[in-house]
């Protein structure tokens, strides 16, 4: 899973670094209290919450924080702003040789504690999400599939639709690695993932199931509609060759198997039937899909 244009580990390192910078900021506030030294514009300016390192980093990536949890991201902004306002008031009093307000001190301590707690929550959420997403393709992994399967089955029942599992495997993928190297193989997997995701509809979640295998759930009005959906994805890949850095063009294809999920059928059984149909499609010539038995 990529976060803020980088890896999860880079995000965690940057978050920890920004928090450490705020701890150093707090030490300057303490020096102001003890020695009456000017704490800096990132404490005293009216827009100090935008000048400190954490504030700059959070503002730059706020939209992505909101994707993780919009309510908590909004709270973090408010807590950080109010913490700065309280500290500015305290330092202003101290610099003017006045006794600081207990209310300002209480507000600072409360907002700082809340900020630390909310940032810890966001960090935990990002790390939890990273375990559910494939870092290569940025697709959800199979570990979250059971929950999605249950949710889409319920949706299909409410709409009197069919829930259909599609298992797909990249054809002759080993040849890509052997002929062009594993870096090209990684690019090929990212390409297939991006095409499937771009041409899947909102009610057609795509997962990286493992290796060069992908799984798609269709919430279709009937079997014919599910077949049309599979045709759409296979055709999208045919229409989008991958050009490598050396100018080589790869015509990537997938073979797929479809299985209509029975009323009381388990996910494991439905996937097994779709998987068997996928291998049958490969034996039948590849670059096609077949229905699973059952």
Cα–Cα distance measured from residue 203 to residue 155, given in angstroms and rounded to the nearest whole number: 10
Round to whole Å and give the CA distance between 168 and 133. 18
Per-residue model confidence as pLDDT tens digits over 118-176 = 988 888 888 777 778 888 898 988 887 888 999 999 999 999 999 999 999 999 999 99
CA-closest candidate to residue 152, choices 109, 215, 95: 215
The pLDDT value recorded for residue 62 is: 87
Element containing residue 196 per DSSP (H, E): helix 182-199
79 part of the active site: no
- What pLDDT shows up at residue 6? 55
Cα–Cα distance, 144 to 154 (Å, whole number): 16
Find out whether 168 and 225 touch, Cβ atoms under 8 Å.
no
List the beta bridge partners of residue 199. Answer: none
Residue 183 has pLDDT above 80, yes or no: yes
Mean pLDDT of the chain: 90
> Does residue 7 surpass a pLDDT of 70?
no
For 233-259, what is each residue's pLDDT tens digit? Answer: 999 999 999 999 888 999 999 999 999
pLDDT of residue 116: 86
Using CA atoms, how far apart are residues 72 and 74, in angstroms rounded to an integer?
5
Show the beta-strand stretches assigned E in 126-226: 162-170, 206-210, 213-220
Active-site residue, selected from the candidate residues 82, 204, 212, 265 = 212
SS3 290: strand
The structure's pTM equals 0.66
Do residues 271 and 163 lie in contact, with contact meaning Cβ atoms separated by under 8 Å?
no
What are the beta bridge partners of residue 216? 166, 206
The Cα 243–Cα 188 span in angstroms is 10
Any bridge partners for residue 260, and if so which?
A: 164
Pairing mode, if any, of strands 289-291 and 213-220? Answer: unpaired
């Amino acid at each position: 899973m990529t976060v803020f244009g980088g890896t999860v580990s880079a995000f965690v390192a940057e978050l920890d670094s920004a928090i450490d910078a705020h701890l150093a900021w707090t030490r300057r506030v303490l020096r102001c209290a003890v020695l009456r030294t000017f704490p800096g514009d990132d404490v005293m300016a009216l827009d100090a919450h935008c000048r400190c390192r954490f504030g700059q980093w959070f503002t730059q990536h706020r939209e992505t924080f909101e994707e993780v949890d919009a309510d908590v991201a909004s709270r973090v902004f408010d807590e950080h702003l109010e913490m700065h306002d309280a500290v500015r008031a305290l330092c202003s009093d101290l610099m003017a040789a006045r006794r600081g307000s207990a209310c300002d001190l209480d507000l600072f301590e409360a907002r700082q504690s809340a900020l630390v707690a909310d940032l810890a929550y966001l960090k935990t959420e990002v790390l939890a999400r990273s375990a559910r997403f494939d870092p290569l393709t940025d697709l959800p992994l199979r570990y979250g599939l059971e929950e999605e399967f249950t949710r889409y089955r319920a949706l299909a029942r409410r709409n009197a639709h069919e829930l259909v599992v599609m298992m797909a495997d990249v054809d002759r993928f080993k040849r890509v690695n052997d002929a062009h190297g594993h870096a090209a193989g990684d690019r090929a997997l990212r390409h297939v993932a991006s095409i499937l995701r771009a041409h899947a509809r909102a009610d057609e979640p795509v997962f990286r199931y493992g290796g060069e295998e992908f799984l798609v759930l269709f919430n279709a009005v009937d079997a014919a509609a599910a077949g049309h959906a599979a045709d759409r994805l296979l055709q999208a890949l045919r229409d989008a060759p991958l050009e490598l850095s050396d100018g080589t063009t790869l015509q990537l294809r997938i073979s797929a198997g479809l299985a209509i999920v029975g009323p009381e059928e388990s996910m494991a059984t439905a996937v097994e039937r779709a998987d068997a149909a996928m291998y049958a499609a490969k034996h039948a010539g590849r670059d096609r899909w077949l229905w699973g038995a059952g």
